[in-house]
Amino acid sequence: MLWSATARLSANPSPLHLPVFNQSITVLGKSKPSRVCCSPSRAMETNDDTSKAKGLSFDDFLSKKPYSPPTWASHLKPIPSHVFSLAHLPTPIHKWNLPNLPQNTEVWLKRDDLSGMQLSGNKVRKLEFLLAEAVAQGADCIITIGGIQSNHCRATAVAAKYLNLDSYLILRTSKLLVDKDPGLTGNLLVERFMGAHIQLISKEEYAKIGSVALTNVLKEQLLKEGRRPYVIPVGGSNSLGTWGYIEAMREIEEQLQIRSNRVKFDDIVVACGSGGTIAGLSLGSWLGALKAKT
């Protein structure tokens, strides 16, 4: 099985048009050929077996609930105490009929681009755990850091606004642009709609100082102002954020169990940035029933 995450952003320079976000996860499996065939163009349909599990209801959205881990992950420490319902889960799994595949090889898509519009993609799964801890600690604002068009920073700004938290974003850009208005393109447009406080830093300063030190400096400034900041690292990737994709592996296991014709995935491949997604997938695959290579 091959699982590959890709993120594509179409940013219109006009401030009158919202950007289009799309993140998908590709799964490739070597197994007995399946009779089920769903092309990516029909991925919005939800009448296949993988979508029969109960999704997020109107009343569940933004609710904070006690978290119970999969039994195979119950020995991991620390276990999160609570989780927010921010994503539309489960996301469907669809077969993708690619031409010229090797014999007995199948490609499947785990459609995490359907996890919820501004919060779409892998970011929201991590934020469900991270923001639950932020609220539990009494935070009134969120600090995070990333590139000038960071999907993680955009998703954090949106999620924070849902929870009535201010967001402070440290965005990395070129030295030539650090003293200029970054404009209203792509993720920046969404972040400004959300009222995010944006601080630009050059790539050179970022490399010299480091993301941890930069967020700590901003945290100390906000503490002196009487604020209660909560810091989320690059990509939301730390031990707590990793639980988002440990939980995703439980979701995949449950989806495979309810299929009328069982599919066995062999390999998982995912695009890797800050490492939190692949860490959770690797742990979940190794500890759970899937046992696929990541």
Active site residues: 150
Please provide the size of the chain in residues. Answer: 294
Q: Over the range 37-50, which residues count as b (16 or more CB within 10 Å of their CB) and which as e?
A: ebebeebeeeebeb
End-to-end CA distance of the chain, in Å? 9
Tell me which H or E stretch contains 29.
Answer: strand 20-30
Q: Are 127 and 145 in contact (CB under 8 A)?
A: no
What backbone torsions phi and psi does residue 276 show, to the nearest 5 degrees?
A: -70, -40
3-state secondary structure 95-146: EECCCCCCCCEEEEEECHHHCCHHHCCCHHHHHHHHHHHHHHCCCCEEEEEE
Residue 282 has what DSSP assignment? H
Calpha distance 97→118 (Å, rounded): 28
Q: Are 268 and 232 in contact (CB under 8 A)?
A: no
